[in-house]
Amino acid sequence: MTDRRNSTAVVAKRRTDTPIETDEIRALCEAAGVEVVAERTQARPRDPTYDLGDGAVADIAGLVERRSADLVVVDDHLDPGRAHNLQEAVGAEVVDRARLVLDIFGERAETKRARLEVRLAELRYELPRAQARVERGETQGRQGFRSGGERPAAQLKADYRQRITDRRAELDRLDDADDGLREARRESGFDLVALAGYTNAGKSTLLRRLADDLAVDENDGHGDRTDTAASRDRLFETLNTTTRRATVGERRVLLTDTVGFVDDLPRWLLSSFRTTLAAAREADAVLLVVDATDDREGIRAKVEASRDELADAEGTLVPVLNKRDAATDLDAKRRLLAEHAGHAPVVTSATGAEGLDALRERLTDALPDRRRVSLSVPNTDAGNAFVSWCHDRGTVHEPDYGERIAFGFEARPEVTAKATGRAEQLNED
């Protein structure tokens, strides 16, 4: 990770069509702490040498000199050759979109998992670039792989591959622990709900609106909790997953805010964050939060990309069209989201707390069916403790306290099965 804060940059973007928008790459620069001092766009096919054409490259070199810029940020994915050629031509460090995103991720990573995922993605990004430097006869010392002298490209590749394997193995161990944690939470009576969607759609604010005041226990040995769920208007504010308790109808729910998607990231980078996205893929329901202030084409593209990322999600997908208070053409966007998400969306304003009751109702319908059983245990201290245990994990219906305690118990099937077993044991004692 490179700390880009307080750097200055010229933004460059090439597309084959117009208009050429630079709002998002500028927002990414802001998120990285980089001040944009100039920009140069160009409508033309990709140049084989620089990505941009000769005229644009000359203009960028002039802007770098006149504005004393530290960086040239290219809103594209540059292969190692084009990045090197462009850097030589403009006289400043060249950073492409993926590298800038990795720097932002690295700055925001607070948990062990997030740091491992960022490092894994960085290794995958750096490998072809390190190989290119070796082929050009340059010394490779930036990532700490060279202890002196030239090292053959094959050995360099082996070094990277081993470090990638090591990081992946560490993440797999965390996966195993998280699988156990999710199972334990379900056995404790919680339904698991994830918030997913593009960064800055309002997921973190929505989490705060839905959550109860009581936070998940900080002392269970897992790093997916923070004291508050951040909700500032900043890209990638949530990189580390944040989990909060909520009550939806009579259901006890754990809400997890996941890392936001971002446009135009390569598949290898997204795959590095597979374990972070597992919270969404393995939830009982997923709230797919969409920014209602985006234009219709942006909504369509983002929903389709989100559905691709969540294609193997186990739970029901609930589309949420958020920021209704700031949106225009809301009815058309609602119809569009219904068409591409497969279900009519719930329309909300997380900042104004509008539409939250409708969202809770939809979420209740989306959660897995619960099972109801009839239980009877002795009216003893142990029997009363068992009833309290049931209250903590589901809904206790019409308890009748006599010589025995008889009641209906409604909860997740795995919880009612466990409760039935415990009741049988109490009746045998």
Q: 55-83 pLDDT, tens per residue?
A: 999 999 999 999 999 999 999 999 999 99
What amino acid occupies position 105?
A: F
Of 193, 192, 202, which is closest to residue 290 (Cα–Cα)?
202
Residue predicted with more confidence, 3 or 89:
89
Q: Is 324 annotated as a binding residue?
A: yes
Average pLDDT over residues 283-312: 89
Q: Within its chain, how far is the Cα of 388 from the centroid?
A: 36
pLDDT of residue 236: 52
Ranges of each domain in the chain: 8-104, 111-180, 189-366, 371-428
Instruction: Express each pLDDT in 335-353 by its tens digit.
Output: 999 999 888 999 999 988 8
Which range, 173-182, 208-217, 247-256, is most confident? 247-256
Whether a cis peptide bond, with omega within 30° of 0, leads into 345 is: no
Pairing of strands 35-43, 251-257: unpaired
What amino acid occupies position 28?
A: L
Least confident of 271-275, 316-320, 381-385: 271-275
Phi, psi of 377 (to 5 degrees): -135, 160
Q: Is 400 annotated as a binding residue?
A: no
Protein fold of 371-428: Alpha-Beta Plaits (3.30.70)
Locus of tokens 């053959």: 152
User: Given pLDDT bands bounded at 50, 70 and 90, which one contains residue 262?
Assistant: confident
Whole-number Å distance between alpha carbons of 108 and 90: 30
Whole-number Å distance between alpha carbons of 284 and 255: 10
Average pLDDT over residues 84-98: 95
User: Given pLDDT bands bounded at 50, 70 and 90, which one contains residue 177?
Assistant: confident
Average pLDDT over residues 206-225: 60
Q: Is 13 annotated as a binding residue?
A: no
Q: Is 75 annotated as a binding residue?
A: no
Least confident of 103-112, 125-134, 228-237, 292-301: 228-237
Least confident of 148-157, 162-171, 280-289: 148-157
Q: What percent of the chain has pLDDT over 70?
A: 88
Average pLDDT over residues 267-291: 80
Of 165, 191, 22, 1, which is closest to residue 99 (Cα–Cα)?
1
User: Given pLDDT bands bounded at 50, 70 and 90, which one contains residue 275?
Assistant: low
Average pLDDT over residues 10-24: 92
Q: Is 247 annotated as a binding residue?
A: no
Q: Is 238 annotated as a binding residue?
A: yes
Q: Is 202 annotated as a binding residue?
A: yes
User: Given pLDDT bands bounded at 50, 70 and 90, which one contains residue 2?
Assistant: confident
pLDDT of residue 24: 85
- Cα–Cα–Cα angle for 347, 352, 356, rounded to 5 degrees: 45
Residue predicted with more confidence, 315 or 72:
72
Q: Is 205 annotated as a binding residue?
A: no
Whole-number Å distance between alpha carbons of 232 and 204: 8
- Residue 397 makes CB contacts below 8 A (sequence gap 6+) with 372, 407, 408, 409, 410
Q: Is 73 annotated as a binding residue?
A: no
Whole-number Å distance between alpha carbons of 232 and 379: 52
Residue predicted with more confidence, 203 or 141:
203
Average pLDDT in the chain: 85
Q: Is 257 annotated as a binding residue?
A: yes
Phi, psi of 46 (to 5 degrees): -65, 135
Other Cβ atoms less than 10 A from the Cβ of 399: the count is 14
Q: Is 427 annotated as a binding residue?
A: no
Q: Is 199 annotated as a binding residue?
A: yes
Instruction: Sort 400 into a burial class: Cβ within 10 Å, 0-12 / 13-18 / 19+.
Output: exposed
Domain 189-366: what homologous superfamily? P-loop containing nucleotide triphosphate hydrolases (3.40.50.300)
pLDDT of residue 184: 86
Q: Do domains 8-104 and 371-428 have the same CATH topology?
A: no
Residue predicted with more confidence, 61 or 241:
61
Alpha helix ranges (H) inside 68-220: 80-90, 97-108, 112-135, 153-187, 203-210
pLDDT of residue 403: 93
Output DSSP code: residue 215: B
Q: Is 350 annotated as a binding residue?
A: yes
Token pair, residue 253, equals: 């729910």
Contact status, residue 320 vs residue 337, Cβ threshold 8 Å: no
Specify the CATH number for 8-104; select among 3.40.50.720, 3.40.50.620, 1.25.40.420, 3.40.50.11060. 3.40.50.11060
Alpha carbon distances (Å) from 279 to 175, 259, 366: 10, 10, 17
Q: Is 260 annotated as a binding residue?
A: yes
Whole-number Å distance between alpha carbons of 116 and 12: 30
pLDDT above 50 for 142: no
Ramachandran class of 149: left when φ > 0, alpha when ψ lies in -120 to 50, beta otherwise:
left
Pairing of strands 285-291, 191-197: parallel
Longest alpha-carbon distance in the chain:
91
